[in-house]
Amino acid sequence: MEKVKGSVSGVTRRILRDAFCGEKSVAIAGVKLPLTASGVTVRILFETIIADEDALNAMFFTKGASGVLPCLACNVVAKEKDMDRNRGIAPLADRDPEIVDISCHDVRLIGMRSDADVWAICDELEEASRHPNKEVLEELECCTGLKLDLDTLRADKAIWLREKQELEMELTNHVRAKRS
């Protein structure tokens, strides 16, 4: 996997792009099944990826347990940083009642990240990558839980956005054709 740009995440990106983006994808063109005399076209939509923690970290290129925020989707703080502890700085969850630690089980308190939140973090990471001091990017990756690699699945906004736009347009055209 080290030879492939983006590693596991890059491979996942290429598979999903081919499967769900473009006119020939299963989301737009569909798959024709011989269930009736004229056949039935089934369209498969990409909605979510279900996997264990290690697979999700690999596919989405996240820091996982080595970051302060181990989850791509939420703002739960996993642990204090050694550097902070050595300097006498209390963990974030101890300093702010709005920040919950990893033991929190109440989804209402966790603070789920929206797609816009994740894209904003990705933009921040990309900007930090241009800073001459590479520690700026490393610190931001640790604090956000996300790593920067433009060849990864998470960096390909087209998979997440264009597929939905194309599908909406195709479904609208399909409904118009049925009405005529």
State pLDDT tens for residues 131-155.
999 999 998 888 888 888 878 777 7
User: What is the spatial distance between Cα 143 and Cα 145, in angstroms, rounded to a whole number?
Assistant: 6
Token pair recorded at residue 132:
């001459």
Residues 6 or more apart in contact with residue 153 via CB below 8 angstroms: 6, 9, 10, 12, 13, 16, 59, 60, 61, 159
Residue 178: predicted pLDDT = 47
136 compared with 47, residue with greater pLDDT: 136
Beta bridge mates, 33 = 40
Asked whether the predicted pLDDT for residue 179 surpasses 60, the reply is no
Run of H or E including 32: strand 31-33
**Angle at CA 178, nearest 5°, toward 172 and 180?**
105
Beta bridge mates, 40 = 33
- 141 CA to centre of own chain: 14
Asked whether the predicted pLDDT for residue 117 surpasses 60, the reply is yes
Segment 11-23 mean pLDDT:
82
User: What is the spatial distance between Cα 103 and Cα 43, in angstroms, rounded to a whole number?
Assistant: 40
50 compared with 178, residue with greater pLDDT: 50
177 compared with 24, residue with greater pLDDT: 24
177 compared with 134, residue with greater pLDDT: 134
Chain-wide mean pLDDT for the chain?
77
Percent residues over pLDDT 90 in the chain = 7
Q: Range with the lowest mean pLDDT among 19-28, 63-72, 82-91, 148-157? A: 63-72
